[in-house]
Structure formats: C-alpha cells, structure tokens
Amino acid sequence: MVTGGVTKFAKAHPAMDFRLMVKRAYDYALKGIPNLTANRIDGTRISYFSDHFTRQLKAASMVQDYLGMNPKGSVRIEWGGATGGECFQAAYEAVASGRMDVCLAAGFETMSRVPTWKGNEFIALASDTNFDFPLGGFYTGYYALMVVRHIYEYLRLGRFADIQDEREAQRRAIAEGCRIMSLVSVKNHRNALHNPYAQYPKRLTVEDVLNSEMISYPLTREQICTMSDGAACVVLCDEERAKEFTDKPVQVTGVGCGTDTMRLSDRPFGRVPLLPHEKAKAYEDLPYPGVHSFRAGRAAGIEAYRMAGITKPNQELDFIELHDAYASSEIQTYEDLGLCRYGEGYSFVERGDPFLKGIDYGFPVPRAGASPVNPSGGLIACGHPVGATGLMQAVFAFWQLQGTIPKHFGDPKLQLDHPRRGAIHSHAGTGSAVTVSILERGFR
C-alpha cells in the first residue's frame, strides 16, 4: 500500500454526490506522490453496499468514468458491512496475482438520501426477507439478541454464577455488560477528539452512554454507529513500484475472510476453531458460535494470522482498527481475534488493554496501550458509510504504520509509538462475513 485518502464522514454531504466524494478522497491520496499519476493505475476495484441507497444501479461505473479510469478494468465489490474490507482484499488479489501492477480500491456510501428509519429498513433487507425481516427487521435488534446471549454465557454464567434467582442474576449481568460496553463507547468517542476525520468526537462519561436513548435493549444510542455519507480509497501495488512511489510503503502480509449463516437462528452449536495459542480444553463446555460470537471473524483471523505468521495476536499486533458498529460487537470481536480468550472480553476492557496511553478517559485504565483498538475512534465515532468504512480503516492503519498521523490529522496525540504491525477488520451483518487484513511497516 502506497497511499490512501478519506473524506470526512458526515450525516449528509448534500453538496457532493458519490462520484465527487470518491474524487476528493482520490485526489488526496495522489497528492504528494508525483510519480503516481492516473496513467500508472492499471485498474480499479470499487465498493458500495446498497443500490437501494444510491438508487443508481452500477454506480461504480460512474465513479470509474468520473475518475477518468476508462477503459481500464474494474469490478464492483459488495459484501454487506464488510464491503470495504472485501474491496481492499480484491485490490490486493489483483496485484498479488500479477494481473495488475497498480490497483486503486475506492469505496463510498450515500446513506443520507433516505430518512434514518428508512435507511435502517434498507439495511435490514440484508437479513432473510422470508423469516427475519417481516418480524421487525432491525439490525440493532439483531445485535441486541447476540449480546444478550453473550452476556448470559460469560457474565451470568461467569461472575454472576453464584446468584440463585435466575431473573435477578440476568438483570445484574446485563447491567454489568452495559456498563462495560459503555467503557468502549467512551474510549472510541474520546480517541476521536484527536481525529479531525471523526464525525462524533465527544467527551462522554459512562453515565452519558448508559443514559442515552434506548434503541434496542440493552443497546443505547451512544453504543451504536450511525449511517453516514463518505468515501475512501487506497492504492496498492507491487513491491518494485511501491519503492518508486514512496519511501514509506506498507506491506499487506496477510488476508483472511470468513462467513456464517445469514439467519442467526441457523448458527451452529459446535466447537471453537482454535488459534495457534489456544487449547481445545479451554472451550470444552462452550457451544460455539451460537448467537454469542462471530465465527466468521474467527475464521478470517485464523486465515490472515496464518498467512502473516502471527501466533500470538495479542502480543504481535501493535494496534487493531476493528468494525465497532456496536460497542457490543467490539467486545465480541476481541475474543474472535484472539486478543483475549472467549469469555474474557469484558475484563479485557476493564483492565484497559484496548485503550490508548496518554488519553484522558475519565476513569483509570491500568493496562492502557497493551492492545490499542480503534485508535481512530472506529465506526462509533467516525460513522459507517458502508462501502467506504473498511477502506477508511486501511487508510488510518496506513498512516499509523507510516508514522504520518500527526501530518494527516494535524494532531500527534493518536500516533502510536513506532507501530510495526496492525490489523484491520471489516464485518457484515450479524457476522455473516468478516475480513481481516494484516498491514506491516514496509520500511526501516
């Protein structure tokens, strides 16, 4: 990867259509790299999630011609919420296969074109329309179903195992889970105070998060990302050209993708696919994934780690930009990616591992900096214009690894100390598809 660009995500960008948004991100990416001109790009991969939102089918073709890329090869990528992550990997494959020397991956979404609740309906159409959608199709509801079970498995049967009264035990477990999810929301909103690309930088407290509007029990508004307009792009190329374009290239050393059933009701109750550092004995009594965990995320992690030679992800990744569409799914994802064991996600947050050093969160974070997650503020604070999101993560990760966060953000606070390797993680509805890509500093 040699460059990238992002438009600031916004609730609405009425003065820019999708073509202009992508053009702005593209111009930003190419600016400052004199050798990288349009004629050096062999082709593109263009991502957006929903034709319902654009109401312009084959919108990727219009991006292609607005950028002046015809007659070069292109294809539109769509894979639900993981659309951006898949686009990144499609561009990787175009270069890795030798088909292209230089490939542009560009993504966008324009979600402001319908009112919020209609937009939620469009998104919910990405659930089974025979069995799930007509019941009250609503993605926040689906994720609430997942986290209620996650809380049951790990808090009710964990730190509240001794309480005899079942209802009381579950109420207390849910309250505890919500409190811990709120810590994640505070983290991401406060990290975003130093990211000018973030849409919702906020100095929130746990109480603010808990007291925000209840959307789908137990998830509150501040624990949920918002639909947005935005675009992002990256340029990937082979090693030879990378050195020509920049003295600070970033290498893609691993890619992984996993899937799971569209319907939550079809998720199996089997065994945990193990990461190299895990033992089967640890999960003997855990029916997996059920609806509490994202098997697709675990599968994507296994594939990407194997390719990158990672055997202890919690020690060998300097940071992770992961798909925190919900504060709950951030916690579930720590476990899928092996940053901690299944069941330890809540204590992982309480110990402070995913927090950054040097940021005031308003509460103690003893192990801040151990495993920084979403230093950018993630989807919760930046917004989630679906087709752009996975590429936005790639751009933020790229700047981290280059050490150029201070330059691009105009604020050095979020720049980690010489990170060598990071992961990006893109996730489609209820974990029906997940991608993980490993990025490493490609220079001394």
Using the rule CB under 8 A, is 55 a contact of other proteins? yes
* Contacting residue, 131, 363, 404, 411, with other proteins by CB under 8 A: 131
Using the rule CB under 8 A, is 332 a contact of other proteins? no
- Coil, strand or helix: which one is 365? coil
Among the candidate windows 97-105, 259-267, 277-285, 406-414, which touches other proteins by CB under 8 A?
A: 259-267
| Cβ pair 253, 440 in contact under 8 A | yes
Among the candidate windows 9-17, 78-86, 99-107, 417-425, which touches other proteins by CB under 8 A?
A: 9-17
Q: Please give the DSSP secondary-structure letter assigned to residue 326.
A: B
Using the rule CB under 8 A, is 156 a contact of other proteins? yes
Using the rule CB under 8 A, is 183 a contact of other proteins? no
Using the rule CB under 8 A, is 134 a contact of other proteins? yes
**How many positions of this chain bind other proteins (CB under 8 A)?**
47
Q: Please give the DSSP secondary-structure letter assigned to residue 402.
A: H
Structure tokens at 36: 């990288």
- Coil, strand or helix: which one is 212? coil
Amino acid at residue number 166? E
Structure tokens at 375: 């230093």
First-to-last alpha carbon distance for the chain, in angstroms, is 16
Using the rule CB under 8 A, is 145 a contact of other proteins? yes
Q: How does strand 214-216 pair with strand 219-220?
A: antiparallel
Alpha-carbon distance values, 39 to 67, 116, 215, 348 (Å): 11, 40, 48, 48
Structure tokens at 290: 């059920």
Nearer to other proteins, 86 or 260 (CB): 260
Cis amide leading into 289 (omega within 30):
yes
* Contacting residue, 44, 120, 402, 430, with other proteins by CB under 8 A: 120
- Coil, strand or helix: which one is 340? coil
Nearer to other proteins, 217 or 363 (CB): 217
Among the candidate windows 246-254, 264-272, 357-365, 423-431, which touches other proteins by CB under 8 A?
A: 264-272
Residue in the structure block whose two tokens are 């005031």: 360
> Hey, what's the torsion of the CAs at 62, 63, 68, 74, to 10 degrees?
-90
CB of 362 to other proteins, least distance (A): 27
Nearer to other proteins, 137 or 301 (CB): 137
Using the rule CB under 8 A, is 141 a contact of other proteins? yes
Among the candidate windows 123-131, 230-238, 316-324, 435-443, which touches other proteins by CB under 8 A?
A: 123-131
Amino acid at residue number 46? I
* Contacting residue, 38, 266, 276, 410, with other proteins by CB under 8 A: 266
Among the candidate windows 10-18, 93-101, 360-368, 370-378, which touches other proteins by CB under 8 A?
A: 10-18
Using the rule CB under 8 A, is 11 a contact of other proteins? yes
Draw the binding track, 285-304, toward other proteins (x: CB under 8 A; -: no contact). Answer: ------x-------------
Using the rule CB under 8 A, is 267 a contact of other proteins? yes
Using the rule CB under 8 A, is 118 a contact of other proteins? yes
Using the rule CB under 8 A, is 212 a contact of other proteins? no
What secondary structure does DSSP assign to 45-109, as a single string? EEE-S-HHHH--TTHHHHHHHHTT-TTSEEEEE-BTBTHHHHHHHHHHHHHHTTS-SEEEEEEEE
Alpha-carbon distance values, 259 to 89, 184, 202 (Å): 15, 25, 34
Using the rule CB under 8 A, is 124 a contact of other proteins? yes
Q: Cα–Cα distance between 441 and 249 in angstroms, integer?
A: 7
Among the candidate windows 145-153, 337-345, 353-361, 430-438, which touches other proteins by CB under 8 A?
A: 145-153
CB of 414 to other proteins, least distance (A): 26
Crossing angle between the packed helical segments 327-336 and 295-308, to the nearest 10 degrees: 50
What are the φ and ψ backbone dihedral angles of 233, each rounded to 5 degrees? -150, 155
* Contacting residue, 61, 170, 253, 347, with other proteins by CB under 8 A: 170
Nearer to other proteins, 290 or 378 (CB): 290
Draw the binding track, 217-256, toward other proteins (x: CB under 8 A; -: no contact). Answer: xx--------------------------------------
Residue in the structure block whose two tokens are 């604020």: 411
Draw the binding track, 379-418, toward other proteins (x: CB under 8 A; -: no contact). Answer: ----------------------------------------
Residue in the structure block whose two tokens are 């300097």: 318
Alpha-carbon distance values, 192 to 196, 308, 380, 437 (Å): 8, 29, 9, 23
Nearer to other proteins, 268 or 366 (CB): 268
Residues at the interface with other proteins (CB under 8 A): 11-12, 14-15, 55, 112, 115, 117-118, 120-121, 124, 130-132, 134-138, 140-141, 144-146, 148-149, 152, 156, 166-167, 170, 213-218, 261, 263-269, 291
